[in-house]
Amino acid sequence: MDILSSGVLILLAIVVAFILYYLLKDVITLVVNAIVGVIVLFLLNLFHIMSLFGASDIPIDWITILVSAIGGLVGVIIVIILHLAGVVL
């Protein structure tokens, strides 16, 4: 390899490293947000927090877990508001 091809290869590796860093940073944030959302949903039912508002526990099924995982804490708040409003998911 000559110097020019080595320089191009190093530059290409740096560009790929930056792209992977920005993509993985966003993915890690989304995964942590999803895990926190699902854990909060389970803790709400474990400690019967909804009974403080005069409602039954939130039924944990695939749709509530999906909304909590995609939305994180905001998704859990949406599920709580819908549950208190009487909307069945």
The ranges assigned to domains in the chain are: 3-84
pLDDT digits (tens, 9 = 90+) for 9-41: 888 888 888 887 887 788 888 888 899 999 999
pLDDT digits (tens, 9 = 90+) for 45-74: 999 999 999 999 999 899 999 898 888 898
The model's confidence at residue 1, banded by pLDDT at 50, 70 and 90, is low
- DSSP string over 10-72: HHHHHHHHHHHHHHHHHHHHHHHHHHHHHHHHHHHHHTTGGGGGT-PPPP--HHHHHHHHHHT
- State the pTM of this model: 0.72
